[in-house]
Structure 1
């Protein structure tokens, strides 16, 4: 069955709610569906965009003169293996690159699953609509869309005001974070809570520093690229000088525990919120509870890290889907439990809607998080475990909750179409 693919670039511009960046897992991306240009073939990586030009994200080629000229300057400045260097660093840091990844075979048969666009998909359409295709292609191909992620991951600190949580959410998220630290049966005292912002794209020094790490070259070698990226971000009104939510439309957990790479091992455990994900949750109508639900999900990943719950016989998309649905369940268990955030019934519905909205239809992607229905089922189950407990003040050990989740997982992922 031929799959009509969404714009690869838009697939790259993903909401990584539930991203598990760290030991034993890649940053799982929940791909969004936006404007769908025609794919040249069922297995091609080239796409004809509405502007008439063809973009090949896998090979970094295009017949768009503007984008081609920009990439020519990149090739002239960087080593010939610049693409493989970029991929190698992403692999070392467990960051899923922002590029389209199509599997040769489907992980699950999408004809058996209900999977349709959500409110989040419409929001992504909206924030992409005003951006020039040439600029999007250039930013995606050069890794610029990942810069805020790398910057906060490698250089961010909760004591540095440049990585401070937005004032409107700071108290709410900090309070929920501290509650989670006392709720779960792991030592979360070393986890750092912070934000990432698109303003790094306007800071040439930070931008250059980050690109140097991403390409494993001296800063002098990427200074020109940093300047070019800065000019694109400053000149395209749709990019809002880096403030467009697309640059920070994610939240993620990171742990280097057990990683032999000294560079990776030196990065502290982190839980990072992007401005974009907070804006998205507000836009789709779950701004009241959504941020705390996301925090509960991401802290659930830290429980998985600590308890070695990423390991399973599953591989590829199905493995990622398992860990993401588990984090949905753990997160909702925490935010609804009497000794957690104790959300009332109306807010429970908002929490469930939050997870439904970030479901995805990327069945073949290694970052497949689960369909909207699957994520809703996992979240609803997490609430039911907390709500139906005979001893409302009792918190289940995380391994006990995991065992119950594993028993229910086949029901969550069963065909529903």
Structure 2
């Protein structure tokens, strides 16, 4: 079974474009009612904010792709079982009602403002074109298929390497399942200005031959380089994620043989620092991602729940398990003030995307799950770590309380 829990931006951006919703604020150069032609007319509505020059660029890119390029792009994403994430969902302002939003208190968190901030300087044409071409997901898939901790291109940032490596070792030894085969590495947005690496991803996504792939890769690299807001690939939007990946039991030859991985993007580390969570946030996120690997080993992704409720369950469980590890004396044994930072980390990455298959839980729910994990560790035997399946049994019993409605009830108006 493969499952990649990550923060992917392509599909949500494309869905937003299909609705004609602008991403960064920019005056529309395609007025309502204007006639729009060319290949881009089929994927970007006439009322969008894509400029005439932007349409010309997009037309030239689409002309180089196979006729079924969108299906190929989406298939590449679907094959790895990429799920939505809070950071990705912040960009999607279209929320419907699978889990009734009226049941929950769910307000914007600092993450919302941070994503708006990092997008504010990005040219709208660049963002739309790169999103449609799948480039916003290229660093993630490069790490999955080609990343290695021994490769300098995937080395952890120097400022975080010590903390992440040490925490990773503690987490591997803490749990009662096999975790020693996981590879810890980073992904960097600068790969989007490397023609060779971009060529490799174009071939993976679209199956182009070498010459065509190089030509398209050069054009995409040129877009990234020409937009100051993208900072030569260093804008956090390219790597605003951390994820756990396992191909355990996979029969797809494309994935067979890929090592279990935990990948940190520069973007998520930048975000944690900007949110004031630099001291503890990376440790909390690593604990959460290692909890996903525990779920892989214990087959805990299987449940009777479906859709957003199923993902919410596994994500809240990872919050709880990660916080249990952070608190326990045989884990990180964090001090009380640091534990407050742990719960705040999970609160700040909660989301209100109730219909998304990647719904992780509201800020309140994620904070509650984290607090529960802390409480279990604090009230248990400090010399013994609960077996992961026993901790899961405890979590399953408390889950209904963690996701219970917390919205104020409006009294019914009596009939006149």
1:410 corresponds in structure 2 to 400
Alignment check: 8 A CA contact 1:245 1:276 kept: yes
1:352 corresponds in structure 2 to 343
1:96–1:392 Cα change, 3 Å: closer
Alignment check: 8 A CA contact 2:287 2:323 kept: yes
2:389 to 357, 375, 399: 399
Tell me by how many angstroms 1:327 deviates. 0.4
2:297 corresponds in structure 1 to 306
1:339 corresponds in structure 2 to 330
Gaps of 5+ in 1: 1-22, 32-38
Q: In structure 2, how many angstroms separate the alpha carbons of the residues matched to 1:410 and 1:29?
A: 26
Is the aligned partner of 1:255 residue 2:246? Answer: yes
Q: SS at the partner of 2:143?
A: helix
Tell me by how many angstroms 1:66 deviates. 2.5
Q: SS at the partner of 2:305?
A: coil
Is the aligned partner of 1:75 residue 2:62? Answer: yes
Alignment check: 8 A CA contact 1:101 1:365 kept: no
Superposition pairs of residues 167-182 of structure 1, within 5 angstroms: 167-182=158-173
Say which one has the larger Rg: 2
1:317 corresponds in structure 2 to 308
1:276 corresponds in structure 2 to 267
1:115 corresponds in structure 2 to 106
Is the aligned partner of 1:60 residue 2:50? Answer: no
Tell me by how many angstroms 1:284 deviates. 0.4
1:3 corresponds in structure 2 to none
1:300–1:380 Cα change, 3 Å: same
2:231 to 234, 237, 240: 240
Tell me by how many angstroms 1:385 deviates. 0.4
Tell me by how many angstroms 1:265 deviates. 1.7
1:46 corresponds in structure 2 to 20
The alignment of Structure 1 onto Structure 2 pairs a total of residues equal to: 386
1:28–1:175 Cα change, 3 Å: closer
Q: In structure 2, how many angstroms separate the alpha carbons of the residues matched to 1:352 and 1:285?
A: 13
Superposition pairs of residues 189-228 of structure 1, within 5 angstroms: 189-228=180-219
Q: SS at the partner of 2:184?
A: strand
1:131 corresponds in structure 2 to 122
Alignment check: 8 A CA contact 2:96 2:354 kept: no
1:85 to 72, 86, 109: 72
The Cα offsets for residues 11-47 of structure 1, whole Å up to 9 and x where unpaired, read as xxxxxxxxxxxx354545499xxxxxxx89xxx7222
Q: In structure 2, how many angstroms separate the alpha carbons of the residues matched to 1:70 and 1:334?
A: 49
The Cα offsets for residues 125-147 of structure 1, whole Å up to 9 and x where unpaired, read as 11111011111111111111111
Alignment check: 8 A CA contact 2:327 2:374 kept: yes
Alignment check: 8 A CA contact 1:24 1:310 kept: no
1:259–1:87 Cα change, 3 Å: same
Q: In structure 2, how many angstroms separate the alpha carbons of the residues matched to 1:264 and 1:344?
A: 41
Q: Tell me the TM-score normalized by structure 2.
A: 0.87
Alignment check: 8 A CA contact 1:45 1:58 kept: no
Q: SS at the partner of 1:328?
A: helix
Q: In structure 2, how many angstroms separate the alpha carbons of the residues matched to 1:328 and 1:211?
A: 35
Is the aligned partner of 1:154 residue 2:129? Answer: no
Structure 1 range deviating more: 191-200 or 93-102? 93-102
The Cα offsets for residues 345-366 of structure 1, whole Å up to 9 and x where unpaired, read as 0000001100000001111111
Q: In structure 1, how many angstroms separate the alpha carbons of the residues matched to 2:54 and 2:43?
A: 10
Is the aligned partner of 1:379 residue 2:353? Answer: no
2:357 corresponds in structure 1 to 366
Tell me by how many angstroms 1:96 deviates. 4.3
Q: In structure 1, how many angstroms separate the alpha carbons of the residues matched to 2:272 and 2:22?
A: 31
Q: In structure 2, how many angstroms separate the alpha carbons of the residues matched to 1:372 and 1:269?
A: 29
Q: In structure 2, how many angstroms separate the alpha carbons of the residues matched to 1:217 and 1:96?
A: 26
Tell me by how many angstroms 1:104 deviates. 9.6
The Cα offsets for residues 34-86 of structure 1, whole Å up to 9 and x where unpaired, read as xxxxx89xxx722256424379x996214431232122112211110000011
